[in-house]
A and B are shown apart, each in its own frame.
Chain A
Amino acid sequence: MPFIPHTEADIREMLAALGVPSTETLFDEIPAELCCGALDLPPALKEMEVTRLMRARAGQNRPLLCFAGAGAYEHHIPAAVWAVTSRGEYYSAYTPYQAEASQGTLQVLYEYQSMMASLTAMDVSNASLYDGATSLAEAVLMAVRTNRKSHSRRILMPKTVHPFYRRVVRTIVGSQALELIELPYDVETGRVDPASLEIHSGTDIAALVIPQINFFGVLEAVDELTVWAAANGAIAIALVNPMALALLKPPGEWGQEGADIACGDGQPLGIPLSGGGPYFGFMCCRKAHVHQLPGRLVGRTVDMDGKPGFTLTLQAREQHIRRGRATSNICTNQGLMVTAATIYMALLGPEGLRRVALQSHQNTLSLMSSLTAVDSVERVFSGPFFHEAVFRTRRPAREIMDGLAERGILGGHELARDYPELGEAILVCVTETRTQEDIESYARQIASLLSHG
């Protein structure tokens, strides 16, 4: 019996104590007609057998040299991150309801909140949400709750926000009578044109979403956008890549007074690609809005002897107290992922993180310079970029991607489905993990595909 420790003698004694002949009797309150027969499931495997099966499955995944980003980034993860995170004391504990017996998890979460607040230059961070897209949805809902001056429930959502994020926001806020207004981008620069906001000036807008870096890898004019939001009574929601913030101006310093909410996906901070999850979402805000923040929060306090300690706090915001009127239905966070991210940030430190960000940026510059040297390859946008960029060739993007895959390269992400107006465009990403040789090989393969095409 896998994972069940009972001996025959145990079972006999336990049944005798209960005065029943068999475990079946314990189910006698369940109407007999409800019981299902044998289920059509594959036969049980021993650990050795399931190991063989899963190794074979993992082997069916084809390892490609990764030049894809678009919301999930391959950064180097120090071995220590998961060696410590996988310890049973983190892995098999639950939400720290009993604070005295959970100081480990609680302190990690407090340190995490501190690191994220500092990275984003915001006052406070929650203890995490599911992922980047859901963090944006929660940020939009929070903005509507927070903005008591606005009654419109209208949100300005740039088209330069990740299309996957936008579709998740649509699903989650869909039943909340919010209006999502799409903001166009400048086809030349690939960023939101601050002038395009003019038609909304003076109207009642609850929030403006500001992605930095945006989906095209381009850097937005965050100061102007934040100033516009403040001037028009809209909450400024910063959607940011935390890795990039080691190098880029943090949301708390945007414009005159900073963004109001910062959110995004924490995956770049020590979380493996893992086919798309689990990652974690983060959300930071100003102190004044903390009571509208969704998700768990850990606070530092003292115990009855005056000794410092940590506990979940401001829980009256949450579903287990407020039920139908909670700030969100979220119950758990992504505790284990956040543990990994905290250890990752501690190992990298401010300088290490900055160098990873800078190296990724420079690798991408290098790739774009090699690529645009290839005949008929063009960079699509002129705006400054970070570690992703969009290029186009004269061949269909699908053929380029297939060709690269045959040569062992995951070439990026095709944009045609979400941005047909961009033609055969590919979004490519280079992190610090790619060598100069990898980069040259990518450019060479593109050149070769174009010369044969």
Chain B
Amino acid sequence: MTFDRPQAWALLALAVPIVVLHLRFRKRRDAEVPSLSLWRDLVPAGVGRRGFRRVEDASQLACLLAALVAFTAALAGPVTGGSAPQARRLAIVVDASASMNALVPRPAGSPPDAFPSTRFEAARAAALAAVGKLGPKDELVVWEATARPRVVVEPTTDAAAARVAISRLAPTLETCGLRRTLDLVRLSLGRDDAADVVVLTDAVGAHDLAAWGELPPTWRVGAAGAPQARNAGIVAADVDVVGTGRTSGSELRLRARVARTDGGGGRRTLVLRSPTAEVARADVDVPESGSVDAVLPLDSVTAGGPLVLRLEPTDDFPEDDVAVMLLAAPKRLVIALAAPSLVPSPFLVATLRAMPDRVDAERAVLTGPDAPASAFADADVIVAEDRLPPAAPRDRPTLLFGAAGRSGSGPIDRPLVWGTGRHAVLDGVDLAPLRIDRASVLDVGPSDRVLIECAEGPVAVASEGGGVRRLRFGFRPDATTLPLEPAFPLIVRNALRWLARPPLLPPSVRAGGPMATAEPVPAVERLWFVGPGARPPQPVIVRDGALVEVAPFPAPLGPGGLDFEPPATPVGVASTALRVAAASARLLRVRGLPGDPATAVNWFPADGFHLVPDVPRAPDVADVVAALPDRGGTASRRAGWAAACALAGVAALVLGTLAMNTGRQRTTAPTGV
């Protein structure tokens, strides 16, 4: 047995004054009494106890000395099994870079909770194990190694507080600033060459260590996770617009780009799935460096909607193995044509038949003015002449020729008409050659937009309300020269394009560019944007793909997420969008899109991932921590012996007190001595 503080044995010198004081106080004291006559008969009883009193005195002194020895031993810090080590310093460097998010392959057959799931969890578990090996006076400091190194546990001897702080550590999406961190650690340790330094990293970025020079022998580097990082991710995915375009019936294809970030190359498979079935798949040979492109056909995707592109099998970084996108695929319109006496204008019919890319002529319906509502069930747009059938649903876009005029005014013969400003319906249309035999002056509502007017009033009006668009012309095509003009099919095409609003969601988004949601702002009350990175995306208001204004920045919800509420006032056709800093996000999930609240959209960083060369594999973090000297066990043995000595001292004091109380009850000093 050895002692931490052998100088504490000097306290045994207190035994000398204890013995002296004991003899002094246990000496028979003199007391004067007026007469001994009354005391004389009591003397024999006292004399009979004299021998026993001596035993009591000796036992009290023995107990006192035993207590002194025991307490001194407790202070000396007895240690068994070797000499007690001196207090040392331990610095733990935990790599919290993005690569520490990588999954750790589980051993076959192991339960899910019995193994750390990521490299960072393995490093954190190793750090906690290292704290358990600290001695009671060992000083601990914990560093977080990222591009911005910081001390997460200030130098302390409080192991419990250190455990709490380490448990709260979380990986970041930053790069690994291991070299800079270790430089700071070396500066903080100064000339303490005996300090233990444990570096827990996944060896990504460990090439910095080689450049930093040979580490001192007390510095240990542990690698978390697989011996070598494995990752290849989808860095770009977009509908190829170079081909025949996004027109119905044309060929569509998806071009995806896969790049390796960590580990060696290999053969992977890109699988494209719709919500109901697999759309396409393509094998890719991921090269050692650089990237590879793959093209997947989209012919079977005619209705658009969400598509999931997945790189299989997954690797250490599953979050960049998937890209979810919404594919915009405009459908052909179903036209319900309502004509008096079921005889439509031949010019109108011919025009509709001339645009098969916009109008599904085979599903068109010809009805009369008294047609039931079921006749318009499948119609996307209702085209009518003279008047709208009463049974026609009011929530459908409507194109009405020969609309009734305002009340009290009759038809106007040969009016001179002109256009009023720019409108999508009149885009590319020249009204100068237009001649109208008879037209009606139309009523104009507050939200109506006059397209064509004459001296007496408007003769063509576009209105929009309740999410439905309507076009009214105060003349029939047959009563004008319009069918003879090239502008007529153009007006009809523009009218149908305007009436059936175009899809607003682009097929994919790229970092740095706006991503518009599927619905206008007023239609969506709240959107949830959940993405990685410390900096949340910036919501903006866009109109037809152009930035209008920056939305008020809401408070973030959780790491990288935010709760976005659109502006209170409607902004017309504007929609919400996000602009994400390219370096801060890798994946952005958008929740709250109509019809698919779990829809996610990949958000690809513009600069890709950092590529690192392979480095020699360091020992596993668990092995590195296991090699640390277990000073906690020594401390417990020391604490156990010290506690035992202290308990023995207390017991000796109690025994001594009992012996003292047995001998006498009164301690008042005698009077008259």
The yes or no verdict on A and B being binding partners is no
A-side residues, CB < 8 A to B, are none
